[in-house]
Amino acid sequence: MRALMNQRFLTLAVLAVVIGILPFVFPSSYYFRVASLVWVSALAAIGLNILMGQAGQVSLGHAAFFGIGAYAVAIGPVHLGIPSWAALLLGAGLSALLAFLVGRPILRLKGHYLAIATLGLGVLVALVITTESRWTGGPDGMPVERLTLFGWRVSGSYTWYWVTGGLLLIGTWIALNLDDTPTGRAFRALHDSEVAAQVVGVDVARFKLQAFVIAAVYASLAGSALAFMNGFINPDQAGFLHSVELVTIVVLGGLGSVVGSIVGAAVLITLPQVLTVFHEYEHLLLGLIIIVSMIFMRSGIVPTLSSLFLRKARS
């Protein structure tokens, strides 16, 4: 137990140090924005990793909750007249409620059927956002009022770097601590075998639903943060391709690894920026790198490198 606590503390400490040191090496505000995008994507991916990596449930429509959080902070102040911070909480609450209501029936499905059901949820939410133009601005999107806290208007890439970094630290801390709770152990039991988990007394339906709701809240908060940071939102953030991107981050970094979600987000967000020097070959090289990574690191970047390090340490 003490070793596990030390490992958690070390993970959080390293993450905090990385977040604290990076501003000293960034040459311009552009890098602060890219890093903020990494933190936001990592936050959403950590939630999805709880669902997929720990509880073993597939979701191909997770961007729906990201979009709900983003549009909540856009619609709330404009159409409902509520403060921006309250709209953020409203978005998280709506995402949790939708995940609870929809999750009860669809989480009874397994494998490909569950994947198609979550895909349908994502398509439905994206369709509503696109067609309800009076509320959402339709395909063109809509502006987002800046977040204001106690009279302080949160704006600028430098400020959002620290805000999103702080959110990521909190989200990482919660996910790491969840892993060693009875809920976290139940999630791992579900991942290994739902039948075996049920035999030993795990309420399979309840814990699958809990994982789905937790993942939805993570995605909603990440979506709200991105909307505030950009000052604008469009339906692409709730679209299928964004769901695929989040799944790719989780799988690339390592299913079941919280650190893997952060590393996966860093790779998938920063790599396209690096590959822009290759112009028309940028997407070709990006796809090739991902394919090669998954061939030689099937468990994901972090689990594979961790296993390799342990083997070398023992030899």
Q: What is the pTM of this model?
A: 0.92
What's the first-to-final CA gap in the chain, in angstroms? 26
DSSP 99-117: HHHHHHHHTT--HHHHHHH
Taken as a whole, the chain contains a residue count of: 315
Cα 67 from Cα 72, distance rounded (Å): 8
Q: What is the pLDDT of residue 25?
A: 92
Give 161-210 pLDDT, tens digit per residue: 999 999 999 999 999 988 878 888 888 888 777 778 787 787 888 889 99
Give 249-292 pLDDT, tens digit per residue: 999 998 888 999 999 999 999 988 888 878 778 888 888 888 88
| Contact by Cβ (8 Å): 189, 196 | yes
**DSSP at 147:** P
Average pLDDT for 28-57 = 93
Cα 219 from Cα 65, distance rounded (Å): 6
| Contact by Cβ (8 Å): 189, 197 | yes
Over pLDDT 70: what percentage of the chain? 98
Where do the H-state alpha helices sit in the chain?
2-21, 29-49, 63-75, 84-106, 111-131, 133-136, 157-178, 182-192, 194-199, 204-230, 240-253, 258-274, 282-296, 301-314
Cα 239 from Cα 129, distance rounded (Å): 10
Cα 24 from Cα 2, distance rounded (Å): 34
Mean pLDDT of the chain: 89
Q: What is the pLDDT of residue 290?
A: 86
Average pLDDT for 81-86 = 89
Going by C-alpha positions, the residue among 71, 81, 84, 88 that lies closest to residue 151 is 84
Q: What is the pLDDT of residue 281?
A: 80
Going by C-alpha positions, the residue among 244, 236, 206 that lies closest to residue 118 is 244
Question: For residue 80, what pLDDT band results from cuts at 50, 70 and 90?
Answer: confident
Cα 123 from Cα 145, distance rounded (Å): 26
Average pLDDT for 235-252 = 91
CA distances from 57 to 34, 109, 111 (A): 30, 10, 8
Question: For residue 149, what pLDDT band results from cuts at 50, 70 and 90?
Answer: confident
| Residue that has been written with the tokens 């159409």 in this structure | 79
With 90 as the cut, is the pLDDT of residue 79 above it?
Answer: no
> What are the structural domain ranges in the chain?
2-245
**DSSP at 153:** E
Helix (H) or strand (E) holding 148: strand 148-149
Average pLDDT for 215-231 = 94
Helix (H) or strand (E) holding 53: none
Q: What is the pLDDT of residue 112?
A: 84
Cα 97 from Cα 51, distance rounded (Å): 16
Q: What is the pLDDT of residue 128?
A: 92
SS3 state at 4: helix
Strand partners, 93: none
Q: What is the pLDDT of residue 34?
A: 93
Cα 274 from Cα 259, distance rounded (Å): 22
Cα 42 from Cα 260, distance rounded (Å): 9
